[in-house]
A and B are shown apart, each in its own frame.
Chain A
């Protein structure tokens, strides 16, 4: 079945370490997104990509990096520069990033900094 797969579901990190969250989709969607969710707040956009080999910063990109080398994959790296990385991270995709379209989400990855 088509969908979005995020891994790992749970991840623990020591301070000062970089970690990479995986996001893979087999929906043939052009656009992919990374969101961060904190308790009591709405989802916030970290990075998005409308096409392979291109991506843009969202509202809270500092301390994060991404790549889009393949259409199916949009990994997110949480670097040591991110001061408060403990959060729930959601990856999403849509057919096209240029127009309003339905979003499809993964199951999320919960990152905890020890």
Chain B
């Protein structure tokens, strides 16, 4: 069993829909990261959070440390949101930024 599990693996939505991607992890963490990988392969950091909720534009990330669960929400989705979204955690053991990554959620937003 992977230490970081994402669901769903693939998601197709219509433009304007509210989207939720989930991430569950099994180890103690100091922080959780949400990343976006563009079709060309480059990765951009969206959020880093250790508690509560963060918002940036149409993106919202929440985390529940007790339940070891995080969600990434996209409001009013748009075709340009189509990408792979990756959850990664910084385990309490191991030190530094030795992240453990999920396998990603492939999102496609259609007109």
Contact = CB atoms under 8 A, between A and B. Distances in A.
Interface of A: 31, 33, 40-45, 48, 50, 58, 88, 90, 92, 94, 97-108, 110
B45 A98 contact: no
A107 B103 contact: no
Contact of A110 (B31, B41, B98, B103): B41
A48 B98 contact: yes
Interface of B: 2, 4, 30-31, 33, 35, 40-45, 48, 50, 86, 88, 90, 95-104
Contact of B42 (A97, A98, A107): A107
A90 B50 CA distance: 25
B49 to A, nearest CB: 11
Contacts of B35: 103, 105
Given A40-B103, A42-B102, A48-B98, A100 B30 contact: yes
B41 A97 contact: no
B45 A104 contact: yes
A48 B41 contact: no
A42 B45 contact: no
A99 B41 contact: no
A33 B103 CA distance: 19
A105 B50 CA distance: 21
A106 B42 CA distance: 6
B4 A42 contact: yes
A42 B86 contact: yes
**8 pairs of A and B residues whose beta carbons are closest in the complex:** A42-B101, A105-B43, A108-B41, A107-B42, A97-B96, A100-B31, A43-B101, A100-B90
A59 to B, nearest CB: 8
B97 A103 contact: yes
A33 B97 contact: yes
